[in-house]
Amino acid sequence: MNNMSPILEVRDLRKTFGAVVAANDINIDVSKGEIVGIIGANGAGKTCFVNMVTGYLAPTGGSIVFEGTELVGKGPREVTHCGISRSFQVSQVFHSMTVAENLRIALAIAQNRGMDALKVMASDALEAKCSDVLKRYKLESHKDMTVSVLSQGIRKLLDIAMAVVSEPRILLLDEPTSGISVEEKFDFMDVVMSALKEDNVTVLFVEHDMEIVERYVSRVLAFYQGEIIADMAPDKALADNKVQEFVIGKRH
């Protein structure tokens, strides 16, 4: 972490489902421009944490402050308008439409906050922005293709591109390389991370692939049973005894 004021401050965040504690007093500061990897076994609390930050799940207690604004109590749409976007493990795209049509819809909605967005879909400004996004996410050659015929990697690129057209300051990614072939994963992440760094977007992403974590993140948050057991640089985190035992296992 650097010494800048945090863009995101999480304090004493807690979530319980009956007797099950999914998040136990989580405290995190995230600075602008950080690339943070969130790791942990299934059920460790990673997605629960992401869902609380993005408004999909209400905490039982605690505080989530983004750029001075309390997010607890806000829904997903309000959180997005504040400047936090997310992509999902399963791409949230329109499969019967082309890549360009998907982007136009996302751009129109982002620019109009949902108010009669279709009226601006053919504007010159929107087309220029759409072309720019297609170029930066290496989607130009696929722009007129129907999404249903595309590979998982291209669908995920489109999903992330659609998530960033609202110009978020923070983007949360849920297992971005899930379902992508071993041969594609580094090229995919190179495109994504290059574009996000160009826009100075702070990134938090859940990931099971430790090769991706080692290569792309500046900091690791390791979750275990709803708690953070490590918050440090990736080389130190992946060598940590607790992380080795509860997250990675002996196969690493």
pLDDT of residue 236 exceeding 60:
yes
Query: What pLDDT, on the 0 to 100 scale, is given for residue 120?
Result: 55
pLDDT in tens, 10-54: 999 999 999 888 999 999 999 999 999 999 998 889 989 999 999
CA 88, 159, 221, 51 dihedral sign is negative
DSSP per-residue codes, 37-74? EEE--TTSSHHHHHHHHTTSS--SEEEEEETTEE-TT-
- pLDDT tens for 51-74 read 999 999 999 999 999 999 999 999
Q: How far apart are CA 194 and CA 85, in angstroms?
A: 18
Chain centroid to CA 248: how far?
21
Which domains are assigned to the chain?
Answer: 32-60+70-83+168-252 (3.40.50.300), 93-162 (no CATH)
Q: Taking all residues of the chain, what is their mean pLDDT, rounded to a whole number?
A: 88
pTM, two decimals, is 0.87
Would you place residue 205 in the very low, low, confident or very high pLDDT band (cuts 50, 70, 90)? Answer: very high
Q: Are 72 and 63 in contact (CB under 8 A)?
A: yes
What pLDDT was estimated at residue 216?
95
| C-alpha span between 42 and 30 (Å, rounded) | 23
Q: β-pairing, 35-39 with 219-224?
A: parallel
Residue 90 has pLDDT above 80, yes or no: no
Instruction: Please compute the mean of the pLDDT values over residues 230-234 and round it to a whole number.
Output: 94
Secondary structure class of 89 (helix, strand, coil) = coil
